[in-house]
Structure 1
Amino acid sequence: MQKNQDGLRPSSADIQNSASVEYFAASHANYSGMVTLAMGLSMAVILLGIVVLLTGFLGEEYRRLLSGLLAVRELTAGGFIVGALALYLNCMNSAVRRPLLRRIAVGLAVLLLVGGLASLAHGVMYALGWLPLEGADTISPLAIPPLLSLGFVLMATALLLHDWRLLGGYYPAEYLAFALIALSAIPLVGYLYDVSQFIYLDFPLPVSLLSALVFALLGAALLMARPAHALMAVIMRIAPGGQMLRHLLPQTLFLLLAFSLLLNWGMTHGWIVPELVLPTLTLINGAIVLFIFWGSASRLDSEYGERTRNAQKLAETSALLNAVSESTSDPIFVKNRQGLMIFANPATLHKLGKTWEEAMYRSSRELFLVQEEADTVDRDDRRVMASGKPEKLEQTLHLPEGVVTFQTAKVPWFGKDGSVQGVIGISTDITERKQAEDELRQRESQLEKTVIQRTALLRELTNHLETVREEEKRAIARELHDNMGASLTALSMHLEGVYQILPPDEKWADRKTRMQGLMKSLVATTRRIQTELRPNTLDLFGLKAAISEQLDELHERTGIACHASLPDEDVDVGHEMEIAIYRMLQEMLNNVTKHAKASKVDVILDIDEDHVALTVRDDGVGIPEERRDNHKTYGLRGLRERATFFGGEVDIRSTPGKGAFISISLPIRPELAPSEA
């Protein structure tokens, strides 16, 4: 194979050579048909021989009808059956490759050779006068004309040497088959021109017309059985020589035979003088040969010109494709159905680190460094060829320059008949892009970790601030209880002493009543503020009592009907979570008081092994959608922040005019258990 100056890829001559290979390979598509035809001819000869043998058992009236078949002797019919059967088995063996069939065929050929030699010796003994020779009726049934015996010997030898080849690439069996056809042509010409010497050949028995035809068919079948052998391949190819032979041979033989018969007929009827037959035949045959070959030469010139133009177009197209494939930095390659590399542009060879001689007709395992990657490439190629559809693949391969990632577009390569011949691929090196993507993903991962860490710190800070705020509330509540409460109690006691010394005047009685009411209101307000800052009930009696107290206070203050559904057992979720649940309930009830315009509120507290859930449901006007999704709404945002801190979630549902449903679910974490708080 030629190569261009860089020695890396096939030149346009290589492409034309590959096209020639495909061109000649297309001519082999008819080989199987020729073998099938040879098997059909063999089977026809076998059936003919069987019919000849069966005619011996028929009555006289049927024997007269089959007189043509009776001209073939039983021994000749048996030889036809044995030879045709051996040829049939040889044809089958070429398709299925079974040693048993070949051995049976060889055995039959040997039997035919022995029989042919025996009958030939028998005929020679008649010819030499060693056996009595008075007429056809006195000849033994085992005797057949020597020409037929020689035909059996030639056929048996051809069968034994059917697949044997000489050093020069020639097959002797083909020449023996041509000899068999030429031998059968002698009696055929005798019957055609009524020449008895060609029919009897100095033997009492004639060579029957049917026997001569059968030998001609067997010779042709011997050639058809191996259409890829040297001589038959010339006829079978689509090349100009094969086309000329297929066109010229039948025409030439037909015209020569037709004019020969015409001259013979004219000489028989006295229209042509015998002395003029040979010159006339020479002139006519010369004119026929000149006319046929001149026309064939003209046709070949026309085909040659057309092929030259096509070759020029192909060369221009190939040069353009070569320029494109050589100038691109993307690897371009073509593989056949066996997965072997049959084309690779310089970029492909550069990536593989090989020359064209090192890469051509190599499998993936021979081209790539890692066997698993080569198997993956082959698997992708087979899938594309099987589906007949293009695919885009991403492949990471270990190459001499390092690990490279390709984005490869693979498409099936269709032949002229529409069958898949292989796969075509164009790859793009995306290693840098993949590295950038990997770095981006790594940075995103680091950013996510940083965000998680910062979120954890913010949660801890929020928890700390919440703890500080609760402690401040507790301190303020304690101050209100200890100082303000004691002061109010002392003031109330002093006022009681003052009330006793006031004159019994109606004006002072009214002031006494207002002072007592103001004192009660001040005490109630102080207790309410103290409870809101730090409910003593929560610290003393737990979450359930604190929720009940809060609902009672809401009912007394607003008149809203409040209903609580609380678990029977004590709620023990840790001090921090109790405070968070209490504060979230405060916020939800505060929203109901300010915005819901509700007449009834249901509070449900549910707890299991893993979660605690607080649900508040009212029959008010509902929460507008824009307010539910508004993160600037401090009340709802505070609920979400508190729930998120404990790893929980808030579910808010509302239908305008049909109330609102707010559910908070918090996981009970071990680190928040009371024993560890």
Structure 2
Amino acid sequence: MDNIEREAGASGNPHYHDLLKTRALDSLAATKTYVWRTTAAALAVSMLVLAVSALVLAACLYQITLPFSESQPPLMRANTAAGFLLATVSLIVQCLVVGPRRLITLFGQLLALLLLVLAAAALMQNFMGSAGWLDTVLVQLALQPSVRLASGLHPMVAIGFIFAGSALLLLDFRLGKEQYVAEYLAIFLLFLSAIPLLGYLYNVAAMTQMVYATSIPLLSALAFLLCGLALMMSRPRHRLMAIITRHAPGGQMLRRSLPQMLILLVALHWLADWGARHDLYDRSSLPPLLTLVDGVLVLFIFWRAGGKVDLEYGARLQSAAELAEATALLIAVSDNTNDPIFVKDRLGRLIFANPACLRRLGLSWDQAKYRRSREILPLAEDADKVDQDDIRIMNGGVSETLAQTMQLPEGIVTFQTTISPWFDQQGQVMGVVGIATDISERKRAEDSLKQRELELERTIAQRTALLRELANHMETIREEEKRAIARELHDNMGASLTALSMHLEGVYKILPQDAHWQNRQGQMQTLLSSLVATTRRIQTELRPNMLELFGLKAAIAEQLEDFGARTEILCRSSLPDEDITIDHRIEIAVYRMLQEILNNVSKHAHASQVEVILDIDEDRLALTVRDNGVGMSQERFENTSTHGLRGLNERATYLGGKVRFSAGKDKGTAVVIELPISVQVQNSGEQADT
């Protein structure tokens, strides 16, 4: 650690202490683990003492015979068991962290105060030779009032309860900065309980009796030992216990070596005493033997602990060297890159920023350190957007690459920022880590390209509108030419054919009456009739008089009748009952489109039946044409480059409608044309959109 600090001081990096703080999080997490484990152990020990005390008290009050009730000395007295119940319940209550904390703590302190008062009263009454109050209460609780309960408390037991009650009452009270009274009282309680336990271990009656006529029960001494341990472990963050629960080398050495030393000391001392009692050696040689054993044991334990500390210190030195190397490399990378790099905690405070980031912000590290986004960015809306992105990434736990545009002292800048959640060893989110790349030039180029694309689309739309206007104008000219041709056919050719027919009638009268000239007369009449019919059909196709005189319904009916007569294809129609009033250009367009569809059916469909459905509502006209022919492939549906399909699409699109092609239910093809009732030229809509 010292090497790292010297290297960091030499490098002059202002962020090093923040990096050390990040490194210390691992040690803090390990310490938290030891803390909650120690608290859980204190609760477990308290529950064990509580269960045993409740069992003994129930056995004493209700005359339940326990399997070991005949053991000598007595297992535990009823009043002693009641005292342990009060002590353990008070400790468990004060270790709870749920519910109304102050009320629960106050209840636990009241139980401790009750234990302290009863123990003090029992001690005073013991010296005065009278029965204790607690004994009288316990006798009244017994199922058999005639049962005799052992009265009074052993003085040392009463003193133990006084220590335990005082420690519970002052569990969180401290003198000065870190001096907690309860810890020292718990140590006194452990020392007091160790005396009779060692007396039982070495069979020394004076230690079990402790200047009193009777011995302290073994179970009572064990219960006091466990209560003292539970008191110490219930507050693992207090000064003395914190030394053991810390992740520091001292805490690790105590956790590993102290239990081993105590167990080995007790075991070896007991073996030495056992050998003296069995005359394996003279008792006068016991002190030097114990001194030798203790010295070897202490030397072994401390030598072993020193070796472990040395290994850990070497590992820490190696880790420190690796960390120093990695830190130097990280500092070199972050200091020499032009991309801003930053680290934020869960509260959105900046805890690391490389020089490139500070230059972009126009701040020094002292000015930016631990500042939030609103304090370092000029615009509040930019700061709020950045904070929202950070919170979303921390909640989602997944890295994201964002485009962030913000106002900085140098102007408006766009960054491509990769933000990742920052996790600790337990998987908890500690904040975010980000690296940003300035893409302002690319952003401006993209904006310029988009603007040019919009202008190009607008130009194309305008040119398309002009082309459609031209196509409409050409369609109008074609309609006018068709009318002119139809008029010429009607006025000139129709009149000529009529005159020719009249002249032929005169010629027929002067022709000889033989069979040869009669055949010629029939052929000329047939040819003239066919010519007249063809002329009328061409005239009707060029200028649908039925459409102009009687409307769309009549024109469709006439067209289907003529189509069926020419092609021998069965034609069915479904037309509205009411009269149709629509724009004349829509009528012409529907008529011509139906004409084109019927021509395609006659040429390609090989159909025997055609169905035409005309549907009109308030603002829409739909013309559906279905045949039972061979049908069309999907590629043909999508191919609008052919003249027929392209003409249908162009007409419909110009008038604000559309054309759909699909396969029939069984076979054949269905064509659906949808047009508005009133003319809506498509280019006006496009101009409004642009």
TM-score normalized by the length of structure 2: 0.76
Amino acid at match of 2:466: L
> 1:133 is matched with which residue?
none
Distance 2:332 2:125 in 1: 75
Whole-angstrom distance in 2 between the partners of 1:521 and 1:84? 123
The reply to whether residue 635 of structure 1 matches residue 644 of structure 2 is yes
Aligned match of 1:130? none
Cα distance in structure 2, aligned partners of 1:528 and 1:36: 105
2:402 paired residue number: 394
Find the partner of 1:228 among 222, 237, 240: 237
TM-superposed deviation, 1:170: 2.5
- Alpha carbons 2:393, 2:399 under 8 Å: kept: no
Amino acid at match of 1:575: H
Of the three residues 35, 39, 42, the one matched with 1:38 is 42
Q: 1:384 aligned to 2:396?
A: yes
What is the aligned partner in structure 1 of residue 573 from structure 2?
565
Partner of 1:249: 258
Report the CA distance between 1:451 and its aligned residue. Answer: 3.5
Match of 2:105 in 1: 102
Q: 5 Å matches for 1:502-581?
A: 527=536, 530-550=539-559, 558=566, 560-561=568-569, 563=571, 565=573, 567=575, 568-581=577-590
Q: Deviations over 1:49-76 (max 9, x none)?
A: 4455456557799899445463755544
Match of 1:607 in 2: 615
Residue 413 (structure 1) aligned with residue 418 (structure 2): no
Q: Which deviates more, 580-589 or 348-357?
A: 348-357
Amino acid at match of 2:395: R
SS of the aligned residue for 2:236 comes to coil
Structure 1's unaligned 5+ residue stretches are 127-139, 673-677
CA distance in 2, matches of 1:459, 1:97: 81
The whole-number CA distance in structure 1 between the counterparts of 2:155 and 2:652 is: 115
- TM-score, scaled relative to structure 1: 0.77
Q: CA deviation at 1:88?
A: 2.3
From 4, 15, 18, the equivalent of 1:10 is 15
Structure 1 window deviating more from structure 2 (205-214 vs 288-297): it is: 205-214
1:150 aligns with 2:159: yes
Offset of 1:225 from its aligned partner?
A: 1.1
Q: Is the 8 A contact 2:561 2:571 kept in 1?
A: no
Q: 1:87: Cα distance to partner? A: 1.9
Deviation at 1:43, TM superposition (A): 3.4
Find 2:32's aligned residue among 11, 25, 28: 28
Name the CA shift for 1:298/1:206 in 2 (closer, same or farther; >3 Å): same
Per-residue deviation, 1:222:
0.9
Residue 455 of structure 1 deviates from its aligned partner by: 3.0
Contact persistence 2:605–2:668 (CA under 8 A): no
Displacement of 1:223 in angstroms is 0.4
Partners of 2:228 and 2:569 in 1: CA distance = 116
The 1:316/1:651 distance shift into structure 2, 3 A limit, reads: same
**Distance across 2 between alignment mates of 1:486 and 1:565:** 35
Cα 1:472–1:310 change in 2 (3 A) is same
Unaligned runs of 5+ residues in structure 2 are 130-148, 682-690
Shift of 1:78: 3.6
Kept in 2, the 8 Å contact 1:144–1:205? The answer is no
Secondary structure of 1:246's counterpart equals helix
Measured at CA, do residues 467 and 17 of structure 1 come closer, stay the same or move farther in structure 2, by a change above 3 Å? closer
Counterpart for residue 189 of structure 2: 180
Shift of 1:107: 1.2
Inter-CA distance 58–638: structure 2 relative to 1 (3 Å threshold)? closer
Aligned equivalent of 1:297: 306
- Asked if the contact 2:655–2:679 (Cα under 8 Å) also holds between the matched residues in 1, the reply is no
Between the aligned partners of 1:48 and 1:545, the Cα distance in structure 2 is: 108
Give SS of 1:315's match: helix
Structure 1 CA distance for aligned equivalents of residues 121 and 385 of structure 2: 67
* 1:81 aligned onto 2:85: yes
**Equivalent-residue separation in structure 1 for 2:594 and 2:457 (angstroms):** 33
Would you say the 8 A contact 2:601–2:607 is kept in 1? Answer: no
**Whole-angstrom distance in 1 between the partners of 2:627 and 2:209:** 127
Amino acid paired to 2:255: R
- C-alpha distance in 1 between matches for 2:274 and 2:401: 78
**Alignment-mate amino acid for residue 573 of structure 2:** S
2:571 maps to a residue whose letter is: H
Can you list the C-alpha shifts for 1:481-524, whole angstroms capped at 9, x where unaligned? 4466567767887x589969999999999999999999878766
Q: Distance in 2 between matches of 1:141 and 1:597?
A: 117
Quick one: which amino acid aligns to residue 81 of structure 1? L
Residues 351, 118 of structure 1: alpha-carbon distance in 2 compared, 3 angstrom cutoff: farther
Q: Contact 1:263–1:272 (CA<8 Å) still a contact in 2?
A: no
Report the Cα offset of residue 189 of structure 1.
4.1
- Percentage identity across aligned positions? 44
How many Å separate the matches in 1 of 2:535 and 2:440? 73
Q: Cα deviation per residue 1:549-605 (whole Å; 9 max; x = unaligned)?
A: 55565567x563563526354443332222223333444444556x34958564625
Amino acid at match of 2:119: G
1:319 matched residue in structure 2: 328
Determine if contact 2:394/2:421 at 8 Å carries over to the other structure.
Answer: no
Matches within 5 A, 1:271-350: 281-330=290-339, 332=341, 345-346=354-355
- Offset from partner CA, 1:184-233 (integer Å, 9 cap, x none): 33344444555555455544454444433332222112101112211112
For residues 10-40 of structure 1, the C-alpha deviation after alignment (integer angstroms, 9 at most, x for no partner) is: 32x6545533442243133133333233233
Pairing 1:348-359 to 2, within 5 Å after superposition: none
- Note the alpha carbon deviations across 1:398-428, whole angstroms, 9 max, x for none: 564557454535356362x6x4444654444
Tell me, in whole angstroms, the C-alpha distance in 2 between the residues paired with 1:543 and 1:55: 110
Partner residue in 2 for 1:584 = 593
Residue deviations 1:605-662 (CA, integer Å, cap 9, x gap): 513124444455667776688776655533343233222222333345679x986655
Report the aligned-residue RMSD: 4.8
The AA in structure 1 aligned to 2:310 is D
CA distance in 2, matches of 1:153, 1:523: 136
List aligned pairs for 1:104-253, cutoff 5 A.
104-122=107-125, 144-193=153-202, 198-253=207-262
Query: Partners in 2 of 1:203 and 1:515 — Cα distance?
Result: 159
**What secondary structure is seen at the aligned counterpart in 2 of 1:606?**
strand
